[in-house]
Amino acid sequence: MRAKDFVTEVKKGKISDYQEKAISGARTFPQIDQGYGLYRFGLAMASSPEDNGGNGVHELNNRPVTLCYSKQEEDIINKALKKLGLSSQQMTSPGSQEPKDTQKVSPMPARDAVKRKGK
């Protein structure tokens, strides 16, 4: 069996409702190319005086994508875009929700505390 038999990629620019609810603050940047443009965008974010920890830049449909989990991360991205004269497209709303089919209760039965000998 080859990977192409079980790996599927969606070539459309939209994400499903299921994914949208679980992914917080995703943006795509159609004006930024995967090479030098992405490099410059990364430098612009890194030069921000705020801590850049946790900013991930990922690829979605051959376009850079960032995921913001805090207002500070969003501010860093906005400042970098302003420096470079670029814009982004908001893909999902801030905040995330567990999908409805996510287990909310453990499938394992609860057990009482086990007493150890000699204690």
Summarised one tens digit per residue, pLDDT across range 58-95 is 445 557 778 888 889 889 999 999 999 999 988 888 87
3-class SS of residue 90: strand
* Most confident segment among 4-18, 47-61, 91-105: 91-105
The pTM of the full predicted model, rounded to 2 decimals, is: 0.43
What's the CATH number of domain 21-90, 3.40.50, 1.10.3430, 3.30.70, 1.20.1740? 3.30.70
What CA–CA distances, in Å, run from 6 to 1, 9, 22, 66?
8, 10, 23, 27
DSSP class per residue in 53-69: TT-EEEEETTEEEEE--
- In the sheet with 63-67, reading across from the earlier edge strand, the strands are 56-60, 63-67, 26-28, 89-90
Burial letters 12-36, b for 16+ CB under 10 A, else e: eeebeeeebbebbbbbbbebbeeee
Summarised one tens digit per residue, pLDDT across range 17-28 is 888 888 888 888
Look at the chain and count its residues.
119
Domain ranges within the chain, ordered by starting residue: 21-90
